[in-house]
A and B are shown apart, each in its own frame.
Chain A
């Protein structure tokens, strides 16, 4: 540990959706930090809770969702803070008001880029106009100066002919250009942290490459920190310093990017890496993870990954592993939520009976109401 406080600290954050089918435990007690100037990845399959986690940090959760516990601290301020009082979970007094988050934090200190660029750009206003207005409001600049600033930002993020394209509408921009505009908007107030929710997933690899380069340049120039949400391990390897792997609402592994790939400590991460076809070598046989990730309404008992885990044993059905430090890391320890790390968990994993395939398949079928996608 290096003594100074992290830029952002998320502790035991819980967000749930209260639906007719039941309570969706979308984010179920995750903890991680972001240091100054760092790019921290959140990676996981569809439905793992990545977007909900990202939105929760800025308190952007809407009905029927609710943050139900935990803490988010940013530079000494409490964005989210709950405490147990008189047997009840309550908001703490130091938790910022909605108004304070909206006026002081969002956009200015922490900006967010959403998964779908069309959702964030209004189709009936020009691209330049939207950017100008955003700068005008957030930085209290007069219109003409805001316009100049907007043109500069568009040029900076690589929009060709920014003066000419200023009055174009979002639909006249390609997907990659729209994403650049959103990055320009996120950068406009020079925030310290940008949360980017799969900003390149919908883009072609060539355009994605352009955006990743742009982000690296800007990060060097402004020292901005990023939380980068993705399901692409290639992107993670390319830009992240540290990574959180999410599975079914929980962080199951947390490590520096090099340790995650080369000193993998969780069977899910290992399986994910193993199931990927590679661009740089021919893989004859892929090893898929069996089945699908179950719904977050009734997560499996014990280790949530046990119905799909090739290493699952009896104990994994009953004991729930927290995400604990299992090895040293460069600055932060390498954490993993897996009972195989006996010296840390002491749950008797190695003496426990391995679950056989039939048992696992059966448990998996019970869990995923539609029978899952398991191969024979």
Chain B
């Protein structure tokens, strides 16, 4: 850690710039080849690919923990692997200590990699069952030619086992003799064995019971303080993220939707998706019962993600298309109706019955009214498909949310870090960032 390119605490250690990763349909392996292809490669090819990570940018400062949170399949692991170049990016760059990882090769890349370690999601499968714990911890040292001979490495391995809260006597044990929490400690020891600056932790405690989870989280905090480590900490559990992070990035369908200081993100969330996530967590206090909100619908496929804002198909705050001049209540009714039609969630007995059910309190007039009438007519003749298409084309797809990709910086209320929220509700707030 005494390299000439040492970064001071609080300065940018890692910078991710427009990072994109697409997987082609015919297997993950070929996904790596897209990097060699020019921009604007045939559209047909693009259509077939899983757009797992799209234009993600952020910095991580030395000594901090950046939490990355998002639902299953949103691209967290792919982003992590692409940052570490375990996967070739489709586009974009990663700078570590100011050096573009794409531009360095051979020996230099190898040594940079030593400084960047990863703890994988599944403690079961990430440890070779045929290797004793000691060897597992020593393997990276050996690969990088550290700590001299076998004896030196053994001494170091035992020291590390102790540091992560295991008995050094366990040096000769096989992984199966350890509990889940202990295996994650072995993973930590292995990652630490080459003195990294930066560790990507992909759901390191997700598989553990709360009591064990707390032990591992505390150990990770202690190690961070002792070794000056920087963490990118991935989890889908917002409670864990709130505990461990300094700043938090929220990901949805391959993109970052919000990034802010922890306190700011939890106390002053500015993206409807973040708000939905936060309000859907069951709070461990029965007296807080009934405060939970619910986010409707499923995550769309990353093969053909929605245009504009990717969250718009589920967003409870979707912005009304300006040309219809709708009241909030009218717009609310149109959206409820659209969702119900999409899901075929009701029986359409008669025009009046449908009207009464969805537009009792606020009926849109003018052009919007005409479209709604037409759609009600269609569902009553059992043509759901056409009704859904009509509503989609005339309303949802006319919204700014469908037409422009949002990217804004918003005012910060807690702390002093910048706060990004990719939502058009902030169009008037501050500068658009592109």
Contacts and interface: CB of A to CB of B under 8 A. Distances in A.
A371 B236 contact: no
A371 B167 contact: yes
Interface string B154-192: 000000001001110110010001111110010000000
Contact of B211 (A160, A162, A258, A289): A289
Contacts of B284: 233-234, 236-237, 261, 273, 276, 278
Nearest to A368: B179
Given A277-B242, A373-B179, A373-B185, A206 B282 contact: no
Given A206-B71, A209-B295, A235 B218 contact: no
Interface in B9-64: none
A207 B285 CA distance: 20
Interface in A164-217: 164, 174-177, 204-210, 212-213
Contact of A209 (B209, B236, B289, B292): B292
Given A160-B344, A237-B283, A373 B240 contact: no
Contacts of B169: 371
B211 A237 contact: no
22 contacts: A45-B209, A206-B295, A209-B294, A212-B282, A233-B210, A234-B239, A237-B286, A257-B286, A262-B286, A272-B210, A275-B213, A277-B240, A277-B242, A278-B239, A278-B283, A280-B283, A282-B262, A282-B263, A286-B243, A287-B214, A289-B214, A373-B179
Interface of B: 71-72, 162, 165-167, 169-170, 173, 177-182, 185, 209-215, 217-219, 236-240, 242-244, 262-263, 266, 276-278, 280-289, 292-296, 298, 342-345
A209 B185 contact: no
Given A206-B276, A282-B243, A258 B165 contact: no
A98 B55 CA distance: 60
User: Which of B219, B236, B294: most chain A Cβ within 10 A?
Assistant: B294
Contact of A237 (B185, B213, B280, B288): B288
A160 B185 contact: no
Interface in A234-251: 234-239
Contacts of B214: 275-277, 286-289
B209 A261 contact: no
Contacts of A344: none
A209 B279 CA distance: 9
A160 B342 contact: yes
Nearest to A165: B344
A132 B173 CA distance: 51
Nearest to A212: B282
A261 B288 CA distance: 11
Contacts of A234: 239, 281-284
B280 A209 contact: yes
A163 B344 CA distance: 9
A286 B214 CA distance: 6
Contacts of A353: none
Contacts of B345: 155, 158, 160
A283 interface: yes
Given A237-B288, A371-B170, A375-B165, 15 more contacts: A46-B180, A160-B343, A204-B236, A205-B277, A205-B280, A206-B277, A207-B71, A233-B284, A234-B283, A237-B285, A277-B243, A283-B243, A288-B218, A292-B181, A373-B185
A215 B369 CA distance: 36
Nearest to B263: A282
A376 interface: yes
Given A277-B239, A279-B238, A161 B344 contact: yes
Nearest to B71: A204
User: Which of B72, B237, B266: most chain A Cβ within 10 A?
Assistant: B72
A218 to B, nearest CB: 15
Interface in A326-376: 370-371, 373-376
A261 B294 contact: no
A222 to B, nearest CB: 19
A160 B239 CA distance: 30
A231 interface: yes
A370 B344 contact: no
A232 interface: yes
Nearest to A260: B286
A232 B209 CA distance: 9
Contact of B218 (A174, A175, A286): A286
A207 B167 CA distance: 40
B162 to A, nearest CB: 8
A237 B282 CA distance: 7
Contacts of A285: 218
Nearest to A177: B298
User: Which of A206, A262, A288: most chain B Cβ within 10 A?
Assistant: A206
Interface in A8-51: 45-46
Contacts of A375: 165, 215, 218-219
Contact of A174 (B165, B236, B298): B298
Interface in A265-307: 271-273, 275-280, 282-283, 285-289, 292
B282 A373 contact: no
Nearest to A163: B344
Nearest to B244: A277
A363 B217 CA distance: 25
A279 B281 contact: yes
Nearest to B291: A280
Given A45-B211, A288-B212, A238 B344 contact: no
Contacts of A289: 211, 214
A287 B214 CA distance: 7
